[in-house]
Amino acid sequence: MEDVAIQVKRVSKNFALPHERAKSVKEAFINPFRSSMHKNVDVQHALKDISFTVKKGEFFGIVGRNGSGKSTLLKLLAGIYQPTKGSIVTKGKLVPFIELGVGFNPELTGRQNVFLNGALLGFSEKEVAAQYDDIVEFAELKDFMDQKLKNYSSGMQVRLAFSMAVRAKADILLIDEVLAVGDADFQRKCFEYFKQLKNNRVTVVFVSHDMNAVREYCDRALLIEKSKLVDIGETSGIAEQYQKLFMSQQGQSVGSEQGDDRWGDQKLVITNVAAEIDEHWLKITQTIKARVDSEPPIVGVRVRDASGKDITGTNTILEDTKLPSLHKGQVLKIEFKFPNVFADGKYTVDPAVLHNDGITVSDWWNRALYVNIQKKRHLPYMVDPGFLINYTIK
Amino acid sequence: MKRIKQRYRYSFVLLKQLVKTDFKIRYQGSALGYLWTLLRPLALFTILYIVFVKFLRVGDQIPYFAVYLLVGIVFWNFFVEVTLGSVGAIVAKGDLMRKLSFPRYVIIVAGSFSASINLLINMVVVFLFMLLSHVPLRVNGLLIVFPLMELFVFSLSVGLLLSALFVRFRDINYIWEVALQAGFYATPILYPITLVMAMSITAAKVLMLNPMAQIIQDARAFLVTEQTETIATIYGSSWARLIPVTIVLLLAVVSVWYFKKRSPYFAEEV
């Protein structure tokens, strides 16, 4: 028990979502309080039965997709929200960074904001004054401190805020994707700060989408999906599960109804599309069901980037693969395996089945699958073909 | 003692900065700046003085009625400033509350501290007015701290309650504005309580149960003249003062209880 910093026991959080219905003026007039007291309330279950412990000095990651409940969890840890059920115990001084520069007032000068923000971080005026020169120097804003904050660029504001944040003396720090903002130089500073925290054995709870940062800094991580805890454990395992969420889910979830994104006579129908990704290979598997006896079909696949630009694609004709005729009820499973040369990012997969003439579409499905590629190796170009370098010295 | 200091350290630090910030921001960009703190009640005083005292000859029989009027206005002004400022204060800080966990009452207390600074400056003006009007200075005048303390506790209690209520019931601010209008006339500020007593002693007795009426009359009795009718003289017993004082204390307990109960949920409800 001694070395536990945060203990979360069976915590659930519900939010009441009031439905605001337009009421007649007369009704509102007769009973002005009614609207606020008898709202139709929907309950949103933001978190369900979450339990975990964070040890002292641990760098603990919380990952999950948007809307999974991870920010709610962080706010519960910070004491901003109260759990509907369960209990949260934290030991020591806790400082949350849900956002940088909380409480910054645009009408005050940089200097005045330093003192205000300092107070919110728990520093007395004396304590801020003692560190004032360091703060200003670190933010590189020496000549701007007597200007109002509203005249600062957003970059300057972030620098000042960050310069304040790193001063916070806490036993537990909660950090919510602070890294999402700022340029490369700023991000480098952030990472340096993280390293320093890690070396000083400060307990950190870190919420992020960035699996590379999670892999690099977190000792353990927790994956949360649809308000529920999926797994806690070694960072690499959690990061893998997180990435799989993006693959498994969308293949089915995109509406299989015909529409703008899907068309064809559906004699041969794509029943499933799945992707397997690793550092070096991408494998896309299509499952196709024949609803009637058919001539040998042509199956193709296309990969596009987030902006919709074609990146690559092929089909069974181009690859000289002759498929057999299909009988009614038969299921064809076909794999397209190719080197994972893609840069990090989100891609869509468009599978298609054409009839033997190569013109009539049986089932064409744009954006059937979303693929999220995140590699250990970053190349700032669209394609990473896997370079081999040889050199000689004479 | 040390533990108390440790426990409330964060609140103190925050309170100090919030009051300072408010002080800096409030009159930013206005030419006369902080002078407005004095000019506003003085302007209201001048208008009321001309209309009621000079034209309608209200309070003719009361010695130093101008000072009387000023004391009433300054006290009432404080009450309005604290309560009206508090109503929306929690909701206005919603953004901050969703990002940081800090004792929520600090917001309301900071507002009433800012108003208290203004009140003290206004009291200096009242004092200057007393000198100008040749009000004889008495040792009893020092007792003014009691009505001032009661005024602070009353205003802060109302402020806490209203701010917490406003998070759930967004009609409160309109209702409170109307209530303040009514309260201004239900309190002997621009008319002397003797006027009401002459018409109906029962009405005067009821009016004096209002803590603001009791506070203002007591303040006048201490500062201006001993002949001032207070709740004690109207009821014929000093014990009567316990009624409005009890109202204030009960309200303080209820307000603190309600605020404490609701404040953990402010972040998600605002």
Tens-place pLDDT, residues B217-243: 999 999 998 889 999 999 999 999 999
- Average confidence (pLDDT) over B7-30: 86
Beta strands in chain B (DSSP E): none
Q: Which long-range contacts (CB under 8 A, 24 or more apart) does B176-182 make?
A: B176/B83, B176/B84, B176/B87, B177/B84, B180/B80, B180/B83, B180/B84
Residue A309 has pLDDT above 60, yes or no: yes
- Which two structure tokens, joined as six digits, stand for A343? 């840069």
- Which two structure tokens, joined as six digits, stand for A178? 């602070």
Residue B60 has pLDDT above 90, yes or no: no
Indicate if the alpha-carbon torsion angle A66, A261, A337, A296 is positive or negative: positive
Residues of chain B with pLDDT > 90, as a percent, come to 68
- Average confidence (pLDDT) over A217-231: 91
Residue A358 has pLDDT above 50, yes or no: yes
Tens-place pLDDT, residues B83-102: 999 999 999 999 899 888 89
Domains and CATH numbers, chain A: 4-245 (3.40.50.300), 261-373 (2.70.50.60)
Tens-place pLDDT, residues B190-205: 899 999 999 999 999 9
Between the two ends of chain B, the Cα-to-Cα distance in Å is: 35
3-class DSSP assignment, residue A357:
coil
Residue from A120, A125, A128 to probe the interface with B (highest B Cβ count within 10 Å): A120
Q: Which of A81, A96, A120 sits opposite B14 (nearest CB)?
A: A120
Q: Which of A98, A107, A119 sits opposite B99 (nearest CB)?
A: A98
CA atoms of A286 and A283, how far apart (whole Å): 10
- Average confidence (pLDDT) over A220-248: 85
Identify the pLDDT of residue A185.
75
3-class DSSP assignment, residue A197:
helix
Least confident piece of the model among A337-341, B55-59, B169-173 = B55-59
Per the CB < 8 Å rule, is A80 touching B169?
no
User: B34 vs A292, B11, B93, CA distance in Å?
Assistant: 86, 26, 24
ipTM: 0.84
Residue B121 has pLDDT above 70, yes or no: yes
Identify the pLDDT of residue A22.
47
- Which two structure tokens, joined as six digits, stand for B72? 């009433």
If you measure CA to CA, which chain B residue comes closest to A93?
B10
- Average confidence (pLDDT) over A346-357: 90
- Average confidence (pLDDT) over A131-137: 92
Q: Phi and psi of B171, rounded to 5°?
A: -90, -10
Local confidence band at A247 (pLDDT 50, 70, 90 cut-offs): low
Averaging pLDDT over each range in A50-59, A160-169, A336-345, A372-381, which range is the top one?
A50-59
Least confident piece of the model among A22-31, A65-74, B123-132 = A22-31
Give residue A345's identity as a one-letter amino acid code: G
Residues of A with CB under 8 A from a CB of B: 15, 32-33, 36, 75, 78-82, 96, 98-99, 102-103, 105, 107-108, 112, 115-116, 118-120, 122-125
Residues of A in contact with B21 (CB under 8 A): 105, 108, 112, 116
Residues of chain A with pLDDT > 70, as a percent, come to 88
Instruction: State the average pLDDT for chain A.
Output: 84
User: A99 vs A135, A178, A202, B49, B98, CA distance in Å?
Assistant: 18, 7, 19, 52, 10
Instruction: State the average pLDDT for chain B.
Output: 91
With contact defined as beta carbons under 8 Å apart, do A97 and A175 qualify?
A: yes
Identify the pLDDT of residue A162.
87
Return the closest-CA partner of residue A316 out of A290, A344, A288, A293.
A288
Q: Which of B17, B168, B268 sits opposite A119 (nearest CB)?
A: B17
Identify the pLDDT of residue A52.
95
Identify the pLDDT of residue B21.
87
Burial of B213 from C-beta contacts in 10 A (0-12 / 13-18 / 19+): buried
User: B223 vs B64, B72, B102, B190, B218, CA distance in Å?
Assistant: 11, 12, 40, 17, 9
- Residue whose pair of structure tokens reads 């209520």 in the numeric block: B165
- Which two structure tokens, joined as six digits, stand for B101? 């966990």
Identify the pLDDT of residue A39.
52
Per the CB < 8 Å rule, is A102 touching B96?
yes
CA atoms of B228 and B240, how far apart (whole Å): 16
Q: Which of B13, B264, B267 sits opposite A122 (nearest CB)?
A: B13
Identify the pLDDT of residue A254.
46
Identify the pLDDT of residue A334.
94
Tens-place pLDDT, residues A75-84: 999 999 999 9
Identify the pLDDT of residue A255.
47
